[in-house]
Amino acid sequence: MRSNLLRQPRKAAAHQPAPARYPVAARRSFPRAARHAFGRFAQTTLLLAGIAVVAPAVGRAQVAVPLPAEQTPYEVSIIVTFGQGSVPQQERRREMIARLAEAVERSVGPMWNCRVSEQTDGSPAAVDALERTSVGDVQQEFTAAGIDKAYLLAIGGDAAGYRLAAREWDSATRDLSRPVSRRMIDLNEFPQLALTLVHALFRPVIIIDRTRWGALVCRARAGELAAETGDWQPFAAGRMFEPYFRYLSMERTVERVQRVPWTWLLPVEPRRATADCEVISGLRSPLSGHRRRVEVVALGIRPQAESTLLRVRTFPPAQKPLAGIEIEIVAGEDAEPLRFVSDRSGTVRLPGTVTSEAPYVWLNARSGQAWLARIPFVPGLHDTELLELPDDAPRLRAEGEIALLQADLVDTVARRAVLAATARARAKDRRFKEMDEAISEVRALPRAEKFTAELNTIRVRFVREAREAKDRNAEGRIVRLCEETADLIKFYLDDDKIRAVREELEELRRIAAEDEAARKQFEAQESRRKK
């Protein structure tokens, strides 16, 4: 497959002339969104500054008149592969290609410089081969050819007719979409069905600029060229974008592309080619900082996977699988959260479709009572996702030890209450010797100091562990847990309470002694009186 694609000649089935290529620096010079955003004054200032910066380069290049991205059409290649036995006649194939090119031209318009071509594969498993194709198989060829978007279509035989599968390759993010496929009964359906698939796969690219005030402005590639209405609008309602960092070399070539994890851009009040963006992210500052050789682009997202395998790991470098982490998907304020648990290998399979008002949901990760993460999540967008969380083991171990201590504490408090009640009852019955025994039993019970000492041992041990692991969250949680337990110890094993009981019992003893003395005195008086 790869070699065939590489050998594929560029047949001009129907295409517009390719636009001139512009240096990246030039394309960044006059952001259209900036003009809208800053007003006339800012526009003038920026223009002068831009001229000052760009003039030498323009002087050197001598050729390019930089077109803004939103006016730059996509260079698109649609490559159709016919599986063995699906379309035997060459004429018929040409006709189908031509009809597809027409349909694309009609539907997309000037937004694309599109070239539709045929790949003669002859393989009986063209559809399967397409599904197996990886980024590495196609990247070099398309990058060299200056293609922005490539659509790989494959037709194969099917029990009930034909199966048409398609994938999109995006140059800006070097991403190959997951395949989508449809069944067709008649080959006459091909152009329309192929166009439908291509449209379903199309992920518009936006360039992200940051204003001086920190707001994000998005410019859609070829946004100005898209039809005012229709399905190909880059900022279609409800569409979200997934940002990528493009790391450039000194020569301004792309060295690598990295997806910004757990971050999405939601256009706010979109215009035709530009929009302000709201950042929805689980990270504190996902797009912050200005780095000279890093571009930020974003790709429109189209969730298609039936499920997403979430891999839950500790932070690098250990990246241990975290088992037993509770994952909640919250689709709305009133919706009942969907609950999952990571298995032994630290993975959770999340459903690809979740009924939600927003195009995203919130994913909460919890270990027991401790919240570890709260991140936005688009179900079914990727086959796998990596969620890195702090290792909660030290806190859990501390919790286990504290649970043991609390169990002892509960027993001690209950015993003390029983003994106090017993002593009180004995005092009321004037059995003061037995009362003293009960009090001495109370004294023999473990005191608050003992529990506090044990608690301190736990605190020191596990806080040190958390510090060694450089996990400040865990450290904080352990300290909090210990403080709560210390409060319990202080409250329930307060010496003042037992002192009050003792005083009350002594008072009872004193009253009893006084009564006894009075009785004796009365008896003495009586005897004297009788005498």
Partner 1 sequence: MMPRNLDSIFRFARRSAVTAKRLWLPAAVCVVLVGLRPWFGIAQQTNPSDGSKPAPQAKPAAEDFPPEDDTEQLPTVAELPLPTFEQLIQGPAYDWIVLTNEKCFPVEPLIVRPGAIDAINAQVKAALRKPGGLSESEEAKRKRLALYYLPVTLTRGEEREYKLHSRFIREIIYFEDQMLQRVDRLLDEKEVRKAYELLVALEARDPKWPGIPPRRERLVATEAAMLADRGELEQALMLLEELYDKNPAYSGLEFQMGTVVDRLVERALAADDPRQARFFLKRLARRIPGQRVIAQRNSELSARAAELLNQARAAERDRQWDKALDAAEGAARLWPDVPELLVTLYRIGAHFQRLRVGVIDLPGDGSADAVRRPADRRRNQLTRMELFQPDRFDSGMTRYETPIFNSWEPADLGHSVAFEVRRGREDWESRPALTAGGLASLLATRMQTGSPAYEPRFASAVDSIVVRSPVELIVNFRTAPLRAEALFRFPLPGDSVTYPFRLERRDESSVVYRRSFEESSTTTDRHVSEIVEIRYSDYDAALQGLLRGEVSMLASVPPVQVRPLSDRSEFFLLAGAFPSVHVLQFNPHSAPLANRALRRALMYSLDRPEILQDAILKGAGTLGRVISAPFPTTSNAYNRLITPHKFDPALAYSLARAAQKELGGEIPPLVLHVPEDPLILDSVRRITSAWAKIGVRTNIVQVAASGTAVADGPWDIVYRTDPMMEPLTDLWPYLTLSGGTDVATLMHLPSWLRQELLALDRAGDWTNAEAILRKLHRQLWAEVHLIPLWEIDQYVAIRKNVRGIPTRPVGQYQYAQRWKIEAWFARD
Residues 6 or more apart whose Cβ sits within 8 Å of residue 293: 247, 248, 249, 250, 252
What's the closest the beta carbon of residue 342 comes to partner 1, in angstroms?
7
Q: Measured from the CB of residue 438, what is the shortest distance to partner 1 in angstroms?
A: 11
For residue 58 the two structure tokens come to: 């323009």
344 binds partner 1 (CB under 8 A): yes
- 326 touching partner 1, by CB under 8 A: yes
Smaller CB separation from partner 1, 153 or 442: 442
Q: One symbol per residue from 295 to 324: x for binding partner 1 (CB under 8 A), - otherwise; what is it? A: ----------------------------xx
Q: What is the size of the binding site for partner 1 (CB under 8 A)?
A: 32
Q: Which of 16, 345, 456, 457 touches partner 1 (CB under 8 A)?
A: 345
Residue 109 or residue 337: which is nearer to partner 1 going by CB?
337
Paired with 331 in beta bridges are none
> In terms of CB distance, is 6 or 418 closer to partner 1?
418
Site for partner 1 contains 146 (CB under 8 A): no
Neighbours of 267 (CB within 10 A): 24
Rounded CA gap, 74 and 149, in Å?
A: 7
Q: Where in 397-416 is the site for partner 1 (CB under 8 A)?
A: 397, 399-400, 403-404, 407-408, 410-411, 414-415
**CA dihedral of residues 100, 101, 103, 109 (deg, nearest 10):** 150
Our CB check for partner 1 shows the closer of 411 and 487 to be: 411
Binding to partner 1 by residue 434, rule CB under 8 A?
no
Residue (236 or 417) nearer to partner 1, CB: 417
The interface region with partner 1, picked from 42-50, 98-106, 356-364, 391-399 by CB under 8 A, is: 391-399
Query: Measured from the CB atom, is 32 or 477 closer to partner 1?
Result: 477
Q: What angle do CA 19, 234, 177 make, to 5 degrees?
A: 85
Contacts of 168 (CB under 8 A, 6+ apart): 149, 150, 151, 152, 176, 177, 198, 201, 202, 203
Q: Which residues 6+ apart lie within 8 Å of 375 measured at CB? A: 262, 281, 282, 362, 363, 365, 387
User: DSSP class of residue 531?
Assistant: -
Kind plus residue range of the DSSP H or E element containing 33 = helix 32-61
Angle CA(90)–CA(91)–CA(97) in degrees, nearest 5? 90
In order of 61, 178, 350, 485, the CA distances from 305 in angstroms are: 45, 8, 10, 47
Nearest residue (CB) to partner 1, 26 versus 413: 413
Q: Binder to partner 1 among 418, 425, 511, 518 (CB under 8 A)?
A: 418
Contact residues for partner 1 (CB under 8 A)? 323-324, 326, 340-345, 349, 367-370, 392-393, 396-397, 399-400, 403-404, 407-408, 410-411, 414-415, 417-418, 421-422
